[in-house]
Structure 1
């Protein structure tokens, strides 16, 4: 049961070594490691070429962005299973074995685990009040409460990163290539996987099998704005994908209005001190209540 591990690498001379080491040191050793260098201009290539292991296959290309790099690596994969590891993240040394075990037990086509956030220097972010930890635990709590993985993903991407993906080759081929969303191609991909394989996407929620690197300042600037805009697009698309065709117009129109209301309320609060305008949450509750009533009437007719 060979596993193909795909590393898309770009300007990570500081981190690519630990990433490679975490694959070579796996307790499960039947793998190939495909590294696609996306036009790095630092010493990333030099670090990679310093390894002497027949399981490593190195490819260089002009810069084409992460999703194209991953797609190329997956196209070169020859294993029964495909795993992805970004060049700044790190696998736990039992990750492949544990995910293979769970896959054999459950028949899942795609699996991902919980993660450990680390800094540029490798220090774990253990403070529960750290912003990323608050966000991640909120998403995990919603997953446990909802009991439905698709619903939970609409609330937030608790898979966190492309590095967390482990899938059968058959599933990867059916779902197809990663889309061209620069920041959320992993989020789009997992929704497509859930649609293609209902009840066959498994969250190993109680095991932290991946170290996810959070870089200084990576939540600031234009990337944060574009990322959230893409987030809106993905959530709308895959929320509607699970709604029966005859009800999609209700949800689409209501979602548009909720976004408009949020913008309007921000403007009102800036101009009216101590205003008592209804909150976005209140508006959302009213919209959902009306939607449930309409759907109920429709189903009764």
Structure 2
């Protein structure tokens, strides 16, 4: 049995596929299997994928006849075929350094309670322009999952790209299937579910290349305002299930409202109405909305 299952979900990323797959196959750590999935692409992805079907590392090639409508439904489907102890969702438009797996596996070797091991990422604009880079102050650090969930994931999510993460498959049984209901925030939801069941290994090494481009679903969703709708629904879900405290909930709500307020006129009236409704009806206290509203007005009046 392979130690790692690498799931490559693809939709219309033919121009990036070869670089993605080759960067996976070139790993210095080689005890892995590759599962390639295509969600009914309309470009020439299928012909590219077929070229790898007979590769010794590729154990499954799965073509959907009908588009699933969600990357996260593809995740679930891929996991049902995965045999590895650890899982890597290697998104089809990203790529990585050859020692990606070797360094992230160190987290599990150091700590038997490790649930997630992730690295830093270059954020790439278009084909090869480095727009920014994520950072961590240590080459390797273990943090408690509960603290990481409350103080990192709900404040400024450092795991912003699925391709930067390796995680322990046995924990999937504890993950709510709700993550498949989202178009944009399903990965954020997924990582926060895992944070409840183990520690987090953070590698300060920049091993992943996260590509932003015209076909990027997350970019389109953020321009539409869908990110605020889904983010607020995720925050509500974790509070309703008593996973986070009122203090964490209120802080997360405030952070989101301050991000939304200067952008509120950029979205369609229907989306703005839905977002406003969610903000006006917090689950912790009706007074919360008025507090964060007045706080935002005060902040932007001073600018």
The aligned runs of 1:218-229 (5 Å cut-off) are: 219=219, 223-229=223-229
- Contact kept, 8 Å, 1:115 with 1:208, in 2: the verdict is yes
Structure-2 residue corresponding to 1:208:
206
Structure 1, unaligned runs of 5 or more: 127-132, 266-277, 283-301
Structure-2 residue corresponding to 1:84:
89
Structure 2, unaligned runs of 5 or more: 251-281
More strand by share: 2
Alignment match of 2:79 (pick from 74, 78, 88) = 74
Return closer, same or farther for 1:176/1:81 CA change in 2, 3 Å cut-off: farther
Distance (whole Å) between structure 2 residues aligned to residue 78 and residue 220 of structure 1:
34
Alignment match of 1:242 (pick from 225, 238, 244) = 244
Structure-1 residue corresponding to 2:193:
192
Structure-2 residue corresponding to 1:285:
none
- Contact kept, 8 Å, 2:221 with 2:227, in 1: the verdict is no
Structure-1 residue corresponding to 2:174:
174
Return closer, same or farther for 1:98/1:254 CA change in 2, 3 Å cut-off: farther
- Contact kept, 8 Å, 1:110 with 1:171, in 2: the verdict is no
3-state SS, counterpart of residue 40 of structure 1: coil
The Cα of 1:113 is off from its aligned counterpart by: 1.1
Please tell me whether Structure 1 or Structure 2 has the larger radius of gyration of its CA atoms: 1
3-state SS, counterpart of residue 15 of structure 2: coil
Alignment match of 1:102 (pick from 107, 124, 128) = 107
Distance (whole Å) between structure 1 residues aligned to residue 73 and residue 163 of structure 2:
15
TM-score where L is the length of structure 1: 0.73
Distance (whole Å) between structure 2 residues aligned to residue 72 and residue 63 of structure 1:
13
- Contact kept, 8 Å, 1:5 with 1:31, in 2: the verdict is yes
Structure-1 residue corresponding to 2:256:
none
- Contact kept, 8 Å, 1:7 with 1:70, in 2: the verdict is no
- Which ranges of 4 or more aligned residues in structure 1 deviate by more than 6 Å? 247-250
